[in-house]
Chain A
Amino acid sequence: NAGVMQNPRHLVRRRGQEARLRCSPMKGHSHVYWYRQLPEEGLKFMVYLQKENIIDESGMPKERFSAEFPKEGPSILRIQQVVRGDSAAYFCASSPGFNQPQHFGDGTRLSIL
């Protein structure tokens, strides 16, 4: 079991471009969580998804950010028209059920030029 896989590990975008971050959960896990970590800060919850459903997106910025977890394929965190303030590490975690221990990926480091 390869664990939670995130790609890419590093992503560089220019202001105004789109960023797509991918997360494949652990085998058997149907719950996916996305977190953002700004420099010198802790993890901040963004969104919680199950297959084809967004369960809680209370931590997502209202504009430019979206997430999906389709029936087939990885979960995608999409950031449109990126700005410098979007530079951060984005972590994905998965669990077999709600409030079960989460297993984390290595994260995607997003840099905006």
Chain B
Amino acid sequence: AQRVTQPEKLLSVFKGAPVELKCNYSYSGSPELFWYVQYSRQRLQLLLRHISRESIKGFTADLNKGETSFHLKKPFAQEEDSAMYYCALAGNQFYFGTGTSLTVIP
């Protein structure tokens, strides 16, 4: 079975604090993993993908095959980071997690 799990529906952090949005997956092959973000009143957009290994808007995500995780991290949260975040896996189908709503408190 292929599945993406985001255990936290809601996450609140203070501005300037570190933030980590969890994503765990189950997949029998070599997955390709993505993080998508949806800001208020905007469409869902790609934030980053694991194969590019780049940092976007200060966010990074490392694929940990041993723990089957792809957590999204940022050392210092900003108010503009408040949004809905979706982890996604591409295998023989595209699977999205249920999303985590991040609120950064000023």
Contact = CB atoms under 8 A, between A and B. Distances in A.
B96 interface: yes
Interface residues of B, number: 19
Interface string B64-99: 000000000000000000000010001011111111
Contacts of B43: 3-4, 104-107
B93 A45 contact: yes
Interface string B4-47: 00100000000000000000000000001010100000011110
Contacts of A4: 43
A41 B6 CA distance: 12
A48 interface: yes
Contacts of B32: 99
Contact of B45 (A33, A44, A104, A107): A104
A99 B90 contact: yes
Given A58-B93, A59-B93, A104-B36, 14 more contacts: A3-B43, A35-B96, A42-B86, A42-B98, A42-B99, A43-B44, A43-B86, A43-B99, A48-B93, A56-B92, A99-B32, A101-B49, A102-B46, A104-B43
Interface of A: 3-4, 33, 35, 41-45, 48, 56, 58-59, 91, 93, 99, 101-107
Task: Give the 7 A-B residue pairs with the shortest CB-CB distance, closest first.
Answer: A42-B98, A43-B96, A104-B44, A99-B90, A101-B46, A42-B99, A106-B43
